[in-house]
Copies of this chain bind each other. A is one copy, B any other.
Amino acid sequence: MDYVYGPGRNHLFVPGPVNIPEQVLRAMNRNNEDYRSPAIPAMTKTLLEDVKKIFKTTSGTPFLIPTTGTGAWESALTNTLSPGDRTISFLIGQFSLLWIDQQQRLKFNVDVVESEWGRGADLDILESKLASDTAHTIKAICIVHNETATGVTNNLATVRKILDAYQHPALLLVDGVSSICALDFRMDEWGVDVALTGSQKALSLPTGLGIVCASPKALEASKTAKSVRVFFDWNDYLKFYKLGTYWPYTPSIQLLYGLRAALDLIFEEGLDDVILRHKRLGTATRLAVEAWGLKNCTQKEEWYSDTVTAVVVPPNIDSSEIVRRAWKRYNLSLGLGLNKVAGKVFRIGHLGHLNELQLLGCLAGVEMILKDVGYPVKLGSGVAAASAYLQNNIPLIPSRI
């Protein structure tokens, strides 16, 4: 029942779904259970408490929704906004584009702020729009923390600063799908009103949980939001939270135990150390790209992403061919370029349960593939650049000191 066996491990470097730790696979290797027995609520209680830590919030209310990131988006929007509401939304790549598409289909009045793909959200335009919005027609700012298609990280602290400067009451809704648990994210400090991620990203679980966290202000907004919603309605969850049974409908028993294990691993490593590890992996990748003489799709250092790097290929090369060869010859899974950058970039996802030697194996593979497709890379050059940085920066594994 394996469709395309290849010897040795698959090297999974798409920016999601990512590698699952063996500990999590073990935790999930179990029969179903009655989710109405006392066991599941008892565990759920710890999950809701602990999941707040990865959002860095104490005041937020988390929801573990049996859905994907797309569903988590919908949950964030429909619970806080009403049809016709004006949102400011930044189009900087394929995933922000899809979110904007969803906002439009949900009948919001979307004020799209577009940047060239490879650049971050244009916060100057945000500022000018807020400045002129004295009537507070803007109900929400919708922004991806990290655009997975281009490897661009937006500066949320600045977004908050601008909102505060104008004392603007707009909600701040953040797609943290490829950031939370990997990049520095601070829900409370940055005044994020709804933040969300998916289980298959930095949490390193299978797909299946949309994790949404709502600020008190977002919860307040949900009381008057007129978007039609049932499956995604927070209120159904809140009702069961009060009852102490937690679930309005059947959760995945396996994913709950998996999430428990995933959080335990993150806390064992230390959330801040997890973030530092991603910084190392991101830096090492960028150094390799530079050594290969290739360009990062991300145009400025301030937007560099520590979870995914989109590498621009020379015009005579089709980046899709690189992805195909990676899979066919090296058992390596890289990310395709999407939409506007299709054929022009390939992506190296470096998030989740991943360490430095795994990345170096991937980089060595990319070098061979580049050569395969005719790009005159010096073999070993990227690995050398990455290693030179890593060798001085990888800390001892705490449990093994």
Chain A positions within 8 Å of B, measured between CB atoms, are 1-12, 14, 16-20, 22-23, 25-39, 42-43, 66-71, 73-74, 83, 101-102, 105-107, 198, 200, 206-208, 227-233, 248-255, 257, 260-261, 264-265, 268-269, 274, 277, 327-333, 335-336, 353-362, 364-365, 367-368, 371-372, 378-381, 383-385, 387-388, 390-391, 394-397, 399-401
10 nearest A-B pairs in the assembled complex, by CB-CB distance? A380-B384, A8-B355, A361-B361, A17-B32, A360-B364, A380-B380, A34-B333, A6-B397, A368-B391, A379-B387
Give the nearest-CB partner of A336 in chain B. B36
Check A379/B388 contact, CB under 8 A, given A3-B39, A265-B5, A357-B361.
Answer: yes
Check A394/B330 contact, CB under 8 A, given A7-B277, A250-B198.
Answer: yes
Q: Is the CB of B249 within 8 A of A68?
A: yes
Can you sample 8 A-B contacts with CB below 8 Å?
Answer: A7-B397, A9-B355, A12-B32, A25-B30, A26-B30, A357-B362, A361-B364, A364-B364
Nearest-Cβ distance from residue A251 to partner chain B, whole angstroms: 6
Give the nearest-CB partner of A399 in chain B. B4
Q: Is the CB of A67 within 8 A of B70?
A: no
Chain B residues near A255 (CB-CB < 8 A): 206, 208
Q: Is the CB of A25 within 8 A of B29?
A: yes
Give the nearest-CB partner of A257 in chain B. B1
Check A207/B252 contact, CB under 8 A, given A7-B269, A274-B7.
Answer: yes
Among A1, A16, A396, residue most surrounded by chain B Cβ atoms (within 10 Å): A1
Chain B residues near A31 (CB-CB < 8 A): 10, 12, 19-20, 22, 25
New A-B contacts (10) at CB < 8 Å, excluding given A5-B268, A8-B19: A1-B260, A6-B400, A8-B355, A26-B27, A68-B250, A70-B249, A206-B255, A328-B397, A330-B356, A364-B387
